[in-house]
Structure 1
């Protein structure tokens, strides 16, 4: 109980791992639609109605980057690159498709932008493939 109430926390590396895994899993979940042709046709129709250029390509590109960034973030592999593509994709959803209402309708995708920025600046942590492959140069905290 003392550790729960302490200002030191429960461990930065463990906390970072849990949050990174959750962010990656959510991105994988949202990006998994790239493998569902029916849903992708629906996205293409929706993007066509919004007069988006190349709606089929943009739909697959968007869902593909969600899936890829989710996979990489979950593994902690090329994490900063994955965070960049996630932040760009979620920013397009927030400000390009949406109207930038980050306290209302676009709150969900904007939170992914914020989380991407966290892992971009902090790094994936010790429990990541980046740390295993590239050593301490990618170590967070």
Structure 2
């Protein structure tokens, strides 16, 4: 048997182990990057309120910060794999609203980012945080790594 420090099929993680990690790192980084300017700048948040108002959102003064802070918090949660399925569910709602309320009237290219984030969120809701997540430490391997489709007896 080769030394354990060598990268062999036995020591490398499987794709099933890496998929949730890769999705979490991509989605978490994207969410933080795309929302941080609104979190850190009142002027940018005001612009986002105006953007939502332009598309007929009710109470944009409430919904803009709610959406921005939800994205920022979900990004942080996904990076660590903390409450992954909850964060993913919140982002599914956020991006379904974005795609149905805003993006039908915008060019196709502008819908790709929220569509990609919706796809990542659905995958993370189904997969969970995976092997390398705080969820696994808290919930144990059986719950954190079990696909949601297999959650029912």
Q: In which range does the TM-score fall when normalised by the shorter chain?
A: 0.7 to 0.9
Give the TM-score taking structure 2 as reference length. Answer: 0.78
Runs of 4+ in 1 over 6 A off after TM superposition: none
Q: Unaligned stretches of 5+ in structure 1?
A: 4-8
- The equivalent position to 1:11 in structure 2, one of 14, 33, 43, is 14
The structure having more radius of gyration, on CA atoms, is: 2
RMSD (Å) for aligned C-alpha atoms: 2.5
Asked if structure 2 preserves the Cα contact closer than 8 Å seen for 1:101 and 1:107, the reply is: no
Asked if structure 1 preserves the Cα contact closer than 8 Å seen for 2:27 and 2:75, the reply is: yes
Asked if structure 2 preserves the Cα contact closer than 8 Å seen for 1:28 and 1:67, the reply is: yes
Partner of 2:88: 83
Indicate how the Cα distance of structure 1 residues 107 and 29 shifts in structure 2: closer, same or farther if over 3 A, else same.
same
How many residues of Structure 1 are paired with residues of Structure 2 in the alignment?
135
Give the TM-score taking structure 1 as reference length. Answer: 0.84
Partner of 1:92: 97
Measured in 1, the distance between the counterparts of 2:18 and 2:53 equals 44
Measured in 1, the distance between the counterparts of 2:72 and 2:134 equals 18
Partner of 1:6: none
Partner of 1:28: 32
Indicate how the Cα distance of structure 1 residues 46 and 102 shifts in structure 2: closer, same or farther if over 3 A, else same.
closer
Q: Are 1:73 and 2:78 counterparts?
A: yes
Secondary structure of residue in 2 paired with 1:106: helix
